[in-house]
Amino acid sequence: MIAEIGAFAAALALALSLAQGALGIMFANSTARAGAAAALSQAAAFACALAFGCLITLFVQSDFTVAVVAANSHVDKPLIYKIAGAWGNHEGSMLLWCLVSALFGAIFSSLRGKQSLGLWSRTIGVQGLVTAGALIYTLFLSNPFARLDPAPMVGNGLNPLLQDPALAAHPPLLYLGYVGMSVPFSLALAALIEGRADQAWARALRPWTLIAWTCLTLGIGLGSYWAYYELGWGGWWFWDPVENASFMPWLVAAALVHSAIVTERRGSLASWTILLAIMGFGLALLGTFLVRSGVLTSVHAFAVDPRRGIAVLILLAVSLGTGFGLYAWRAPKLAQPSGFSAVSRESMLVWNNFGLAVAAGVVLTGTIYPLLVEAFGGGLISVGPPFFNATVVPLLAMLFLLLPLGPMLTWRVGDMRAALGKLAPAAILAVLTLIAALVLSKWRAMPAIGLMLGVWLIAGGLVYLWVRLRRGEGKLSAKVALLPLAVWSMSLAHIGAGVLTIGAVAETAFRSERAVLLAPGEGVAFAGRRVTLLEVGGIEGPNYSATRANFRIDQTSGAASLHAERRYFPTSPMPTTEVGILSALDGDLYIALGEQIRGSEQWTVRLYHNPLVHFIFAGILLMAFGGGLSLVALARKRMVST
């Protein structure tokens, strides 16, 4: 019964969002019609929430007459993972996509602010059509409420690797990010239909780009953290096609966050901002396509159904076709921007956008190149990390070299000499880092340059904060409290990028890795420590049994103990690795237990030392925190102004 209610609610949501689309877009200057579209969007969100609530209930009740529940849940699973199981699969996650899209539409429609009626109404309309497209796909190609006959008794169980708190939160966050890009897309299309993209429009756009970017940052970070401690490969980023699929919209969202500032503050770059919003949503859809169609070899490619892939491609073609078509037709009519000098904050932000957009283009090329080669009969190929390291990394390095200059320049016409003068301490610190890193790493230029850039970003961010604090009269402590949140948020996000850079460079260039065979009682010297395998025994978990190995780590600061496990779930033939991680100031010692060598006492043990790896995750968190703070700043400004 609950499944039928869910399916009905989803169908109802489809009807409601189609009506929302029609009324919102053909608004004909009528307040009543626009209001009706807004009301419809709230009803559609309610219907979607009802449908998703039904799906969660089915998972909690372990109703195995429903195919998705039977394939992805198990009676023995802990409750939290039963709930997370609702979106840990293809069908459920698509319903989540619809819910987020409808919810964002409803929130947008209830916060009109100072937007013109036409832009507001048409944005609600386009958002309705986006939701409707996702619902059509969900209902007709991946219905989560389909029944299964005969029903199994216990269910297949969620892939044990996915039974993890970080991974329970990873898909919803990424979806908030992906779908968050749909609102800027709707706003962009509305602006093109209206033939107007003014500062109020950019003001409405900014919070949505920030939400999308912040959620993407957190979602990617969580996924990367999960891969680090759960997969047992010792790495955190693999340039896997699906990682790229989330990285491309992230790059474009980052560009959009910056270009929207220029459009809001100065009224320029409106047409570029619109183009970015269209591309960002296109890449988010492409991300969904890459993940869901299984066209690329990837750890995530689990839904191999060509019909679904084609359907997502059709959605992509319709969205991008409409977006670019409207852009080509209407964008020339948008008001011409006011000018700015080559040395100004605007121009620095243009360079930022240029760098991020080119980086996104390069990642896109590398990701779809294997598909193109195969489609034209060139054989099966793969494009791996060497490609991305040789292309994306230098682009980002150039971007980071310029980054601290941006905030130091004023709008319209900046003074480069003054900016460089203020940044001199940061530059000196960065050069000292370069020299120290060159000497200590025995003249390895690439990591040294990377570390220099990281320090340059952090020091540049701190110098900017200092310059802002020194402005005006009064006590420093009083001025700290008065400093606008926007200044803090930007500085923290930029400092976060620096921290991430340092971590990424150190981890990539200076990690050590060793695989050894150890019998209980045997030890090995590794990364300045001695690692001894004490004993290996069996333990029982809630829904798995495990082999646990205990280690003793002798280091200069004393001895520590650490354990690593291999878990066997009755529902899955493959064991999972539960790594042991010993964090220290200089990085992580990371131990993964392998298999016992047949007919011997020895176990294979993989040892990694990942220097400064926590900088990576701390940097990601700082960037996301900066994004969140910026949202708070916008919300506060809005409350003050209304």
Partner 1 sequence: MSKMRKRDQRLMIIGVAGAVLVLAATLTFAGLRDSVVYFVSPSELAEKAQPGQRIRLGGLVVEGTVQRAGDIATFSVTDGATAVQVRYEGLLPDLFREGQGVVCEGSWRPGQAFDADRVLAKHDENYMPREVAEALKQRGEWKGDSRP
Which positions lie near partner 1, rule CB under 8 A? 71, 156, 159, 161, 231-232, 294, 296-297, 299, 301-302, 304, 339, 341-342, 347, 350, 354-355, 358, 361-362, 365-366, 369, 379-384, 386-387, 390-391, 394-395, 398, 515, 517, 566, 572-575, 577, 594-595, 597, 604, 606
- Mapping DSSP to helix (H, G, I), strand (E, B) and coil, where does residue 213 land? helix
CB of 302 to partner 1, least distance (A): 7
CB of 374 to partner 1, least distance (A): 9
CB 342 to partner 1: min, Å = 4
Burial call 561-583: b when 16+ CB within 10 Å, e when fewer:
ebbbbbbbbebbeebbbbbbbbe
* Residues 219 and 176 sit within 8 Å (Cβ to Cβ): yes
Please report, for residues 29, 365, 390, 520, the alpha-carbon distance to residue 387 in angstroms, rounded to integers and kept in the order given.
52, 10, 5, 42
Measured on CA atoms in the order 32, 35, 40, 43, is the torsion positive or negative?
A: negative
Q: How many CA atoms lie within 13 A of 475 on its CB side?
A: 3
**3-state secondary structure string across 597-612:** CCCCCCEEEEEEEEEC
CB of 353 to partner 1, least distance (A): 11
Backbone dihedral angles phi then psi of residue 228, each to the nearest 5 degrees: -65, -50
Would you say 191 or 359 has its CB closer to partner 1?
Answer: 359
Q: Which is nearer to partner 1, 30 or 341 (CB)?
A: 341
User: Residue 32 contacts by C-beta under 8 Å, 6 or more apart in sequence?
Assistant: none
Choice between 373 and 618, CB closer to partner 1: 373
Distance of closest approach, residue 80 Cβ to partner 1, in angstroms: 22
Q: Which is nearer to partner 1, 38 or 392 (CB)?
A: 392
CA 195 to chain CA centroid, nearest Å: 32
Q: Which residue's CB is nearer to partner 1, number 325 or number 378?
A: 378
Please say which residue, 57 or 596, places its beta carbon nearer to partner 1.
596
In the bound state with partner 1, the residue whose beta carbon lies nearer, of 364 and 634, is 364
Whichever of 377 and 386 has its CB closer to partner 1, that residue is 386
Q: How far is the CB of 93 from partner 1 (least distance, A)?
A: 16
Kindly state the smallest distance separating residue 244's Cβ from partner 1, in Å. Answer: 14
How far is Cα 187 from Cα 347, in angstroms, rounded to an integer?
A: 24
Least Å distance, CB 161 to partner 1, is 6
Location of structure tokens 């939290």: 80
Q: Whole-angstrom Cα distance, residue 407 to residue 607?
A: 43
Q: Is 225 helix (H, G, I), strand (E, B) or coil?
A: helix
* Phi and psi at residue 268, to the nearest 5°: -95, 175
Place of tokens 């904050």: 345
